[in-house]
Amino acid sequence: MIEKFELNLECAALLEINNIYMRGGKYTANLDMRIEAPSLIFSGTDNDYPATISAFSYSWSLIKNIGDVGRYTSIAKDVTFGETEHPTDWLSSSSFTYDAGFIWQRFAEQHGTGFQPITLPDDPKRSPVIIGNDVWIGTRAYIRGGVTIGDGAIVGNDAVVTKDIPPYAVVVGNPGRIVKYRFPEPIIERLLRLEWWRFAYTDFGGIDIRNVPEAISSLEDLCSSGRIAPYNPMSLTFRDLKEMGTRPNDLAHFLRNARIAATQSR
């Protein structure tokens, strides 16, 4: 269920203390959306889907038409996700053909109409965008609806992405094309097996992240010896925010309990 709600400045400040960065103001979102700490949503939401914005990820762009955002993902400014694609093989491509509630609604009510908009057929392009872990999306990129961006992928500035992107691919241009992969295939396979994003980077002390093969080996050793554990983040839903976004005392109590629960389960 998508609803509108307000997050006031005092509650936004409480979230920030708990490493969830959201501006005070009005939000529109599916109330089953979830946000993990730490993370940042700078430009608001207008999202129909019960997405999770995962820990260590941030977006300077509007969260819209998103199915999920993995961990350690970086979304730059002015990125567009899965905007509605108009019909191109009907009499008109105008929104009047399929959306009775669009900007001409008052005109239709004033003049009367025998025309009934037609529901757009199911189309993968009208599905949400799924974003993996450790993804970097550059400024002004366009990601078509239904696209899945694999773990570790990079989307360049101004790229137009119309197809799924494999893990660790680097995509640029219009139309978007793969120009290279970040690492050789054996390294990519090890990274995908390791799923290093399960962990908090604060546990990476002593690991040289510039030497990827050695970093993988170090993390594999930590995993096999039980010296590192997956990070269990504090989180809350947008339903929680709707209920407590203007009630700072209630939100503070909720966040305190959520922190305790997350710590005890690690």
- Residues annotated as catalytic (active site), given as ranges: 86
Q: Is 45 within 8 Å of 63 (Cβ atoms)? A: yes
- The set of residues, in sequence order, having a beta carbon less than 8 Å from that of 144 and lying 6+ positions away, is 82, 85, 125, 129, 160, 161, 162, 163
The answer for 61, left when phi > 0, alpha when psi is -120 to 50, beta otherwise, is beta
Instruction: In whole angstroms, give the CA distance from residue 166 to residue 118.
Output: 35
Rounded to the nearest 5 degrees, what angle is found at the Cα of 144, between the Cα atoms of 161 and 6? 125
Amino acid at 232: N
Instruction: In whole angstroms, give the CA distance from residue 23 to residue 203.
Output: 29
Instruction: In whole angstroms, give the CA distance from residue 33 to residue 108.
Output: 34
